[in-house]
């Protein structure tokens, strides 16, 4: 359906996302996050305004489900903004897919990626040993430390995360980073905090290099994403602070409960 939605505003906030490991995490993942945060604090970046997120709010985004509720249904934000199409989310189909059709667990590998090894995958045209940890710019004098892992089996990176995100399109949900039909996003990424202040290219290089080397030297470890690890969140802040984020576990989700998470178009004009 491609009816005009010029009368509606699709808000940035509040909105809805499907995430993994919000609040509860495997112990190995918890330890790795804490180790990286400690390394940043020991570095020269500690002189900058580094604020790590609470451990519980750190999460991996599976799919941003952003949209707005109308009398005809939930209009997907990213189909509208990137493809100029009005698509109403098939909530019941999406839930049935996640609860009954996706093959769980999805195994994610963190660490142990070596530059000389071919993993049969590049992330944003970069080798996994580089992408596994980065300080990503999020505006002028703002940086976000990001830890990335990938689905992995039989000694190579698989496209399990990418496929799940792409399959969401059949339910009229477009992944934010599938802006064009050929876009690929297979990253399972966790934002660890924010760094405010001017950083030189050398400062960025040194901390990235140090943490990447640590990740390369450690044995790889694997975490399993199961249904119990997934939840829909209604967020008021992109960092998902516990105080303002509403949680709907996937295992408890119904069409009615999920629909209630969305802001109504009448309140967002």
> Tens of pLDDT along 68-88?
999 999 999 999 999 999 999
Using DSSP bridges, classify how beta strands 193-196 and 133-137 pair: parallel, antiparallel or unpaired. Answer: unpaired
- The CATH number linked to 246 is 3.90.1140.10
Half-sphere exposure of 97 (CA within 13 A, CB side): 16
Quick one: pLDDT at residue 10?
A: 86
Quick one: pLDDT at residue 6?
A: 52
Instruction: Tell whether 75 is covered by a domain.
Output: yes
Instruction: Tell whether 178 is covered by a domain.
Output: yes
Instruction: Tell whether 3 is covered by a domain.
Output: no
Instruction: Tell whether 48 is covered by a domain.
Output: yes
Quick one: pLDDT at residue 46?
A: 63
Domain count, the chain: 1
Instruction: Tell whether 2 is covered by a domain.
Output: no
Quick one: pLDDT at residue 269?
A: 47
Instruction: Tell whether 251 is covered by a domain.
Output: yes
Quick one: pLDDT at residue 3?
A: 44
Q: Is the peptide bond before 105 cis (omega within 30 degrees of 0)?
A: yes
> Tens of pLDDT along 217-264?
999 999 999 999 999 999 999 999 999 999 999 999 999 999 999 999
User: Among 159, 154, 160, 179, which Cα is nearest to 169's?
Assistant: 179
Stretches where the chain sits below pLDDT 50 are 1-5, 269
Instruction: Tell whether 187 is covered by a domain.
Output: yes
Instruction: Tell whether 4 is covered by a domain.
Output: no
Quick one: pLDDT at residue 236?
A: 97
Quick one: pLDDT at residue 99?
A: 98
Residue 266 burial (C-beta neighbours within 10 Å; 0-12, 13-18, 19+) = exposed
Provide the residue range defining the domain that includes 97: 15-267
């Amino acid at each position: 359906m491609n009816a005009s939605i010029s009368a509606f505003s699709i808000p940035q906030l509040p909105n809805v996302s499907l995430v993994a490991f919000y609040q509860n995490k495997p112990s190995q993942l918890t330890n790795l996050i804490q180790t990286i945060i400690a390394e940043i604090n020991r570095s020269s970046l500690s002189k900058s305004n580094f604020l790590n997120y609470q451990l519980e709010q750190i999460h991996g985004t599976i799919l941003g489900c952003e949209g707005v509720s109308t009398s005809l249904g939930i209009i997907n934000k990213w189909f509208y903004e990137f493809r100029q199409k009005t698509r109403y989310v098939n909530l019941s189909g999406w839930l049935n897919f996640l609860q009954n059709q996706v093959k769980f667990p999805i195994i994610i590998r963190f660490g142990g990626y070596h530059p000389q090894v071919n993993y049969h995958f590049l992330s944003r045209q970069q080798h996994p040993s580089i992408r596994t940890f980065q300080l990503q710019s999020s505006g002028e004098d703002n940086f976000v430390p990001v830890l990335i892992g990938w689905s992995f089996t039989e000694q190579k990176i698989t496209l399990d995360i990418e496929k799940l995100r792409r399959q969401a399109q059949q339910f009229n949900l477009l992944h934010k980073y599938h802006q064009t039909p050929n876009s690929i996003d297979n990253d399972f990424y966790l934002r660890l905090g924010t760094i405010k202040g001017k950083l030189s290219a050398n400062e960025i290089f040194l901390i990235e290099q140090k943490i990447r080397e640590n990740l390369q030297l450690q044995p790889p470890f694997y975490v399993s994403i199961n249904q119990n690890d997934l939840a829909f969140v209604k967020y008021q802040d992109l960092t998902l602070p516990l105080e303002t984020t509403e949680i709907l576990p996937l295992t408890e989700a119904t069409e009615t409960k999920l629909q209630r998470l969305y802001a109504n178009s009448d309140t967002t004009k």
